[in-house]
Amino acid sequence: EEGGARFEAIEANLFGAELDGSLAISDEGLASGKLGGKRVALSPIGTLAGIPLEGRADIEIELDAADGKQSIHALLSSRKIDMELTDRITLDRVVAEAKVSDALGDGALEAYFSAEGGGSGNTRFTQIEASAKGPFDKLAISAGIHGERLTVETQPVALKLDALYEASRLTLQTFDANVGDAEATLAAPATIEMTGGMTRLKSLDAAFTGPQGAGRL
């Protein structure tokens, strides 16, 4: 089309991650097509994100410009991913999917992540799930972790979190954490504000129970 372009048989190297496919660019600058790769190295993507990553994944990216709006659908699956945060974390059988609608306009996200195993230190994960849904400026976030801590006795580990992200603000609506007989529960919503390079925690009301008794913060 006039003002547009089409690229067939693309072989792209995105910061060291190799993908192939085809794309068409409309005269409005919107993209349609598919890119993907099998066993794509994740370390270059980790370098770009500032997170040390090791592993390989199958990646599929589909772009669509229906109704004059840019949409993106991305899918990643990996047998094993290693990463370094505050400690080394291993994730097994990972699936991540994200759908972005009207990416260049009002923008909304629907994303899902799961891992069916892994661990960090003496903690082993049996299931990790997380999701995010909503417009970019008001995302509903949910996460859950199940596993066990390997000490003298094996202790169950579980975490559940629900939150709402808005501009410069994260409101924790639910936070329940359990390690063995110890439990921490958010009694009321708490707010984390991120402004002016500072992070502030406001209105924290949490209850704790454990072998030594109960407490509140």
What does the pLDDT profile of the chain (217 residues) look like in tens digits?
A: 455 788 887 887 766 778 899 999 999 999 999 999 999 999 988 888 888 999 999 999 999 999 999 999 999 999 999 999 889 999 999 999 999 999 999 999 999 999 999 999 999 999 999 999 999 999 999 999 999 998 888 899 999 999 999 988 999 999 999 998 899 999 899 999 988 888 998 888 888 887 776 666 6
Residues with Cβ within 8 Å of 20's Cβ and at least 6 positions away in sequence, in order, are 9, 10, 11, 12, 35, 36, 37
Residues with Cβ within 8 Å of 86's Cβ and at least 6 positions away in sequence, in order, are none
- pLDDT value for 206: 87
- pLDDT value for 3: 55
- Class of residue 109 by CB neighbours under 10 A (exposed 0-12, middle 13-18, buried 19+): middle
How many angstroms separate the CA atoms of 10 and 25, rounded?
Answer: 13
- pLDDT value for 167: 85
Sign of the torsion angle spanned by Cα atoms 192, 166, 74, 93: positive
